[in-house]
Amino acid sequence: MFAGLTVYYLLFFVLKIYSKHGDTFGTLPLIAVTALYMSLAFIIFHKNTLSLKTNHVLSAAGFAITPILSYFSVELILHGILGTDIPLEPDIVLLNCGIYALFMLFVYMLSCSFKWASVITYIFDIGMGLAMFLVLDERNTALIAEDFLSIGTAGNVVSDGLYPLNLFFSSFAGISIAYAGIIVMSRLVCPKAPAKRYRAGVMILSVIPIFLFAWIYVSSPILDSYTSELYLPQKAYARCGSMFALAESTKDTEVVKPEGYSKAAAEKIAADYKSDDITAESSGKKKKANIIVIMNESFCDLQSAGNGFTTNKDVMPFVRSMKNNTIKGNMYVSGFGGGTAIMEFEFLTGCSNAFLPESNIAYQTEIKSDMPSMADRLKKLGYTGITAIHPFSGSGYKRDKAYPLLGFDKFLTQDDFTSSADKKKVGSLISDESAYNKIIEEYSASKKKTSKPYFTFEVTIQNHSPYRSFDQGIRITDKKINSDNTEKYLNYIHESDKAIKYLVDYFENKKDPTVIAFFGDHPPAISGDIYDQILGKKLIDTDMAENIELRKTPFFIWANYDIKEESGVDMSTSYFSDLVEKTAGISSRTGYQKFLSDFREKVPVINAFGYRAANGKYYRIDDKTSPYYKLVWKYSILQYNDLIDPDNRISGFFS
């Protein structure tokens, strides 16, 4: 115990000295923490000579204050990274302590031990606090309930390269409080567990407050005033306390049926948009272009965000230079620092996470049966290939289950990257160049078998955080930006730009008409306060409109034949597949595509946080005062019918 305490105490200061945050700790906090550890050393080495009655009283008191210390422990762990005062309002403290108390009572119900209930609660606090800190530090957005559904995907990424925990002084102080609680409760002699004949009564007494709180939380309007804004959940953390904000986010995991939804209501909307006969086009003589779609991991133009910043040379010179036979602009996405599969889903289906809980991953929660998608549609139009490629684990976000239901015939994962062209990596992940070589390999193999147009959809992995040293000569020259991780990221993007040129150059020399559509899935997860520096204000202080504008990535559609060039196009992910198909020469369209085309004219930008309408104003999805509310409502009705109510899905409208 002494060795563990000494190592921890040394790490406390050594890690603080080398912490990237460089936050200073004043004399009083330093004295307080030092006194705490001196007291712990005394408790550890001093024989417990207190009377049995005193031990029992102190252990009962320690048990009783565990929820309070737990609250301050976790809030201190997050205090530095949130950059806000710890909520001290009595109602907020009570709500959060109530959650810790419920957890502790549950453990007590199972163990009938003050000591174990308290110690396990403190261990739980440290684990949850560090998990919340890690997500905030690496993704710049707070942990919410939906994130636990993607824990397997997160595990795959973390196992590849462990994320560093760059803790603040306050974080160490928070851990120290929980650590002190563990030491004290471990040294005290607690009352013996009740006799077996009384344990049923103890369990009942423990269960009553658990069910009472659950009833209040789920059914009572008492807590309605504490509803959090999930577009930036760290705001709820700072306002309502982290554990209550996390618990509150569980209310937003269920897809809410739109007001007035029915199959008849959906059919009435769909009646104005008749699907074309795709069989006529699939048997036509006009040659359709191959379609290659690339959703590039974390590919983002950070220099266009907020106030921007300067570098010694262009980070993405090729993408910026693209003009001939190119449509390009900004893709407004729903994700920020993560949630890649959200944007995949939006692109492939034309659905929008605007009508789903913010972090809902439809692959994991909603897609249980065959669903219309771009893959399914192109297959009916006579395309071959119909291949999804992701050079990482195939089980992430349950892609291996979702892709077949979306109509893909083949799914290639990292296990299929075995040739010499597959071996190149950037950091520890398969490079974009290797990913594009796999496209070329699959395309070439297909063309040897048939002249039918080819379709593939690839989700890259190279630019996934954490970022390691990979020097391509990019340097940040703007003094207001102080982030080594950002500079590393920019060098990754520079390498991505080279890989894009490599792929375009290959198909530029092919006579076979080909369209390459490319977009970034979300802004990168860069640890630290880079977004605060770019925005000139704390990310936590941004409003909805600023968050919509922050969530944009570059996109382009390039063809190796003549198409009408456009630039500065604002686009949302759910519209993109329709534009790609039009560019590829596909004239037949579903009723749903026609509806989305009309919708886009009036609402050019929509994502999980709201929309920017044609009048230039920003609105929340549920804003009934918006002149576009009825149109948005129609979109939600159609999407609910397609995604949530497949048994009543309008026949022939979506595919």
Where along the chain do its domains lie?
A: 2-252, 263-648
The 10s digit of each residue's pLDDT in 289-298 is 999 999 999 9
How big, in percent rounded to 5, are the helix, strand and coil portions of the chain? Answer: 55, 10, 35
> Among positive and negative, which fits the CA dihedral 516, 517, 521, 522?
positive
Distances (CA, A) of 485 to 456, 495, 528: 32, 16, 8
3-state secondary structure of 313: coil
Q: Which residues of 535-574 are buried (b: 16+ CB within 10 A; e: fewer)?
A: beeebbebebebbbbbbbbbbbbbbbeebeeeeeeebbbb
Mean pLDDT check: name the lowest of 223-237, 306-320, 464-478.
223-237
Angstrom distance (rounded) from CA 595 to CA 267: 13
Structural contact between residues 455 and 520, judged by C-beta atoms closer than 8 angstroms = no
Query: Could you tell me the pTM of the whole model?
Result: 0.79
Angstrom distance (rounded) from CA 410 to CA 413: 10
The 10s digit of each residue's pLDDT in 96-140 is 888 898 888 888 878 888 899 999 999 999 999 988 888 887 766
Checking if the pLDDT of 333 tops 60, the result is: yes
Checking if the pLDDT of 516 tops 70, the result is: yes
3-state secondary structure of 187: helix
Residue with tokens 């709201």: 610
Residue 494's φ and ψ, nearest 5 degrees, are -60, -40
What is the assigned CATH class of domain 263-648?
Answer: alpha beta
Angstrom distance (rounded) from CA 299 to CA 312: 19
> Rounded mean pLDDT of the chain?
85
Angstrom distance (rounded) from CA 136 to CA 348: 29
The 10s digit of each residue's pLDDT in 430-467 is 999 999 999 999 999 999 999 999 999 999 999 998 88
| Higher-confidence position of 225 and 606 | 606
Give the pLDDT score at 340. 92
